[in-house]
Amino acid sequence: MTYRSGRHFLQIPGPSNVPDRILRAMDKPTMDHRGPEFAELGKTVLAGMKQIFKTENPVVIYPASGTGAWEAALVNTLSAGDRVLMCETGQFATLWHGMAAKLGLDAEFIGGDWRHGVDPQAVQQRLSADSDHRIKAVCVVHHETSTGVTSDVAAVRRAIDAAGHPALLLVDTISGLGSVDFRTDEWGVDVAITCSQKGLMMPPGLSFNTISAKALQASRTAGLPRSYWGWDEMLQHNARGYFPYSPATNLLYGLKEAIAMLLEEGLDNVFARHARYSEATRRAVRAWGLEVLSLVPSEHSNVLTAVLMPEGESADRLRAVILEHFDMSLGTGLNKLQDRVFRIGHLGDFNDLTLIGTLAGVEMGLSTAGIAHNKGGVQAALDYLAEVAASGQRSQQQRVA
């Protein structure tokens, strides 16, 4: 292979680009994970993640992918044969449902079309009909990475409460946390799940559970086998800043830096930045004459945009052309969406010029691949970003005056 100048554009919806600050933070000798210096690191990242999750409840950290945190949430709270209510919003909701079945749970699936989020009314109706409370947990994906659709977690909690049902609420916010607002305690989430390689701007390798008092109580009688995933030993060791087995020490160095970066920018500013880039991207897509997969404006993702290809055109061919000619990776379509969509990731360590470079790569790729489209998508995004910047400058001048 010949050398390619410049930096590869990794614009998949996770893993996201790892900032230099985090890379430098991880680039130091591994410390003794039983020593006093490590205890300070452990306490710092555990406390910091509570801020990111917006919770007062414990957070546990596993050396694992998000899939591990899915399993931890299920095996710590449920017993074989328990019924769980899950909602088909895309590929990752489908995979989580499959895991629940493999673990011996009675996993009921509310069907969906992969273009809409969770229907809170359907959840409420199903729970209201469950008069003997056989359903022990409701499991939803906050932000579906395969589709670019966001579900209203607060509305799901209101639906559970309106039905007067005691089911736990387990929420996957793997691609949402750190990029879009997530309020664990305010929304009544019993177990929230995330991992390191999305909004936390880290390499893959860390995953997380938050644990409400209700979830912790359920774990004391839950019958599914667990050892590695057990909360009890985790919490016992975490109280002193340690872990029950060897932690991913250098990833924790990076996590400490990631938390600092998010808090330095301010979470509300982080969320506003992601919202701005998602709107700019959708304006580009519409200008090209293409269609965003997500159908409901209030459910549009601020993390990624899934774009439907014109009839008869291959999304995988377009992605291959863009990779070959412009050294940029875009997300593939998964399962039902294979070869039908490409996904533009606009999350994590990302600024205006990164977005414009990404959209330019897509627009050039559409032309190079000979796919019918309108020109001007990049310009539409530029116009929007300039409009937002001018509005912000005017607001600042008014505050100064």
**Residue 199 near residue 348, CB atoms below 8 Å:** yes
CA 380 to chain centre: 27
DSSP string, 296-313: -GGGB-SSEEEEEPPTT-
**Residue 209 near residue 21, CB atoms below 8 Å:** no
- Looking from the CA of 288 toward its CB, the CA atoms found within 13 Å total 27
Run of H or E including 360: helix 352-368
Run of H or E including 141: strand 135-141
Helix (H, G, I), strand (E, B) or coil at 62: strand
Tokens standing for residue 388: 């937002």
Helix (H, G, I), strand (E, B) or coil at 122: helix
Q: In this structure, are strands 106-110 and 191-195 parallel, antiparallel, or unpaired?
A: unpaired
**317 labelled ligand-binding:** no
What are the two backbone dihedrals, phi and then psi, of residue 247, each rounded to the nearest 5 degrees?
-85, 170
Binding region: 343
Binding region for substrate: 343
